[in-house]
């Protein structure tokens, strides 16, 4: 899965943030109004106004906001020797730099603010000689530096918290995308599984019906009893295929309380499958050895492979072909399934059909392999090696 872009969080994205900055700037400007009507000079009021107004930009342009505040305070040294109300903007500007500005710019602003915390009290001390003691100026110096450090620490904490929240949002988006992809993959796998089951059931049943119907058509005038038996086979095969179709469709309806929930066929049903093929006129020689306990998935795979192979032999091997079916252990942990006939074989490319593709998919799910191709001397051979997956391991894989 491609990496997702990080979640974009605009400082102005939330109206509450914009309203808060405007309200903060307006509240601080009330102090400027007091300075204008009070005993402060007009120069001090103008300096305060210029120092406070840049706070409107403290989120979207923290560097510009801090530069305007710091520049105005540097100019204050040459205009007045006393503190002004607008200097409360400096801790706020330092906080905004630590919270929103690039880290390198934020560090520079922190150093500038620390230097300003020294220059300001020194300028006030020089302007107030004879009226302020050195200890009081030192106290102001300590307070100014503590304000800078506290504002920096709070801004850094806000940056860390915002990064943490951004990480949670980004992770949530990734999990949501991954969940959708997993759901789509699961749905695709389920569609493929249902398609394989439907193909195997329909193809096997219809092939038997077609063969028997062709035989009955030719025998109806010469051997009515054979035609009658063929029609009975057609009827039984059709009913069985229809019942299996209804069972599979019933499993898809979770709200169908009356659905038939019989287990899927397995190796124990192979004898019935072989007898059905013999009844349909195929010459089948079977060698089903003594098998160890198999998981339901492996048993179903073996059954469907044999079923599809018999269907292909019925369609392509031709009349009077002998089909040999073998299901035997191959070592301690594998099962060998072989279906070979001595007929004429398929006329086209066998891999182009859905049947062989479905068999390969079934075998590959269990880590096995399927080999198909013409036999030397004529006919067609199918070999499947399927690992003997324990039932518990299969459930864990699901």
Answer yes or no: is pLDDT of 34 > 80.
no
- What CATH number does residue 326 fall under? 3.30.565.10
| Termini Cα distance of the chain | 22
CB 45 within 8 A of CB 36: yes
Nearest 5°: CA angle at 94, between 90 and 98?
Answer: 170
Nearest 5°: CA angle at 31, between 28 and 34?
Answer: 160
Answer yes or no: is pLDDT of 311 > 60.
yes
The more confidently predicted of residues 235 and 260 is: 235
The more confidently predicted of residues 67 and 9 is: 67
Give the model's pLDDT for residue 104: 92
Q: In terms of DSSP bridges, do strands 380-387 and 322-329 run parallel, antiparallel, or are they unpaired?
A: unpaired
Give the model's pLDDT for residue 179: 86
Give the model's pLDDT for residue 93: 93
Residue 228 lies in a domain: no
Span 210-232, average pLDDT: 70
The predicted-structure confidence for 85-125, as pLDDT tens digits, reads as follows 888 899 999 999 999 999 999 999 999 999 988 887 777 76
The more confidently predicted of residues 213 and 175 is: 175
Backbone angles phi, psi at 266, to 5 degrees: -140, -160
The predicted-structure confidence for 282-307, as pLDDT tens digits, reads as follows 889 988 877 888 888 888 888 888 88
- Count of positions (residues) in the chain: 398
Backbone angles phi, psi at 82, to 5 degrees: -125, 155
42 and 162, same domain (yes or no): yes
Answer with the one of 116, 148, 176 that is the final residue of a domain.
Answer: 176
CB 116 within 8 A of CB 80: no
CA dist 272 and 366 (Å) reads 25
CB 301 within 8 A of CB 267: no
Q: Is residue 12 very low, low, confident or very high in pLDDT (cuts 50, 70, 90)?
A: very low
CA dist 314 and 341 (Å) reads 10
Residue 168 lies in a domain: yes
Computed over every residue of the chain, the mean pLDDT equals 78
Residue 278 lies in a domain: yes
Give the model's pLDDT for residue 352: 46
171 and 302, same domain (yes or no): no
Answer with the one of 113, 145, 176 that is the final residue of a domain.
Answer: 176
Answer yes or no: is pLDDT of 19 > 60.
yes
Answer with the one of 131, 148, 176 that is the final residue of a domain.
Answer: 176
Note the maximum CA span of the chain: 138
Backbone angles phi, psi at 6, to 5 degrees: -65, 155
Q: What is the DSSP letter of 262?
A: P
For the record, the structure tokens of 263 come out as 């287990």
Give the model's pLDDT for residue 1: 42
Give the model's pLDDT for residue 7: 44
Span 238-255, average pLDDT: 64
Q: Is residue 392 very low, low, confident or very high in pLDDT (cuts 50, 70, 90)?
A: very low
Mutual orientation of helices 354-365 and 134-219 as an angle, nearest 10°? Answer: 130
The most confident of 143-157, 298-312, 383-397, by mean pLDDT: 143-157
Percent of the chain topping pLDDT 70? 72
Mutual orientation of helices 42-52 and 15-37 as an angle, nearest 10°? Answer: 170
Span 329-351, average pLDDT: 76
Residue 3 lies in a domain: no
Residue 367 lies in a domain: yes
3-state secondary structure of 1: coil
Q: pTM to 2 decimals?
A: 0.49
The more confidently predicted of residues 156 and 243 is: 156
Give the model's pLDDT for residue 318: 78
Residue 286 lies in a domain: yes
Give the model's pLDDT for residue 39: 60
The more confidently predicted of residues 34 and 39 is: 34
Domain that holds residue 20: 15-176
Answer yes or no: is pLDDT of 8 > 60.
no
Residue 230 lies in a domain: no
165 and 290, same domain (yes or no): no
Q: Is residue 11 very low, low, confident or very high in pLDDT (cuts 50, 70, 90)?
A: very low
Residue 195 lies in a domain: no
CA dist 223 and 273 (Å) reads 26
CA dist 308 and 357 (Å) reads 11
CA dist 158 and 368 (Å) reads 56
Give the model's pLDDT for residue 325: 92
Answer yes or no: is pLDDT of 9 > 90.
no
Number of domains present in the structure of the chain: 2
- In 3-state terms, the chain is what percent helix, strand and coil (to 5)? 70, 10, 25
CB 340 within 8 A of CB 381: yes
23 and 166, same domain (yes or no): yes
């Amino acid at each position: 899965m491609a990496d997702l872009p990080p979640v974009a969080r605009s400082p102005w994205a939330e109206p509450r943030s914009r309203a808060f900055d405007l309200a903060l700037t307006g509240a601080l400007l009330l102090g400027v109004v007091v300075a204008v009507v009070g005993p402060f000079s007009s120069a001090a009021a103008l300096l305060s106004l210029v120092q406070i107004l840049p706070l409107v930009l403290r989120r979207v342009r923290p560097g510009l906001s801090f530069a305007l505040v710091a520049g105005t305070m540097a100019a204050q040294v040459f205009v007045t020797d006393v503190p002004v109300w607008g200097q409360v903007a400096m801790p706020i500007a330092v906080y905004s730099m630590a919270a929103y500005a690039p880290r390198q710019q934020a560090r520079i602003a922190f150093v500038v603010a620390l230097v300003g915390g020294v220059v300001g009290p020194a300028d006030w001390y020089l302007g107030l000689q004879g009226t302020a003691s050195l200890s009081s100026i030192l106290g102001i110096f300590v307070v100014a530096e503590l304000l800078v450090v506290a504002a920096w620490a709070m801004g850094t904490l806000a940056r860390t918290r915002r990064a943490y929240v951004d990480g949670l949002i980004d992770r949530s988006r990734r999990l949501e995308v991954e969940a959708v992809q997993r759901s789509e993959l699961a749905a695709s796998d389920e569609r493929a599984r249902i398609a394989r089951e439907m193909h195997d059931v329909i193809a096997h049943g219809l092939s038997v019906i077609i063969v028997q119907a062709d035989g009955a058509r030719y025998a109806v005038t010469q051997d009515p009893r054979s035609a009658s038996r063929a029609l009975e086979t057609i009827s039984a095969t059709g009913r069985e295929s229809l019942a299996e179709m209804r069972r599979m469709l019933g499993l898809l309806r979770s709200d169908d309380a009356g659905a038939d929930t019989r287990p899927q066929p397995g190796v124990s049903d192979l004898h019935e499958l072989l007898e059905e093929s013999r009844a349909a006129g195929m010459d089948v020689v079977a060698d089903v050895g003594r098998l160890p306990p198999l998981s339901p998935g492996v048993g179903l795979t073996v059954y469907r492979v044999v079923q599809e192979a018999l269907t292909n032999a019925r369609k392509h091997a031709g009349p009077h072909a002998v089909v040999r079916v073998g299901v035997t252990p191959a070592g301690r942990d594998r099962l060998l399934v072989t279906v070979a006939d001595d007929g004429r074989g398929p006329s086209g490319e066998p891999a182009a059909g859905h049947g062989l593709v479905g068999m390969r998919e079934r075998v590959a799910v269990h880590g096995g392999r399927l080999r198909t191709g013409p036999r030397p001397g004529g006919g067609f051979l199918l070999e499947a090696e399927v690992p003997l997956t324990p039932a518990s391991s299969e459930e864990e894989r699901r």
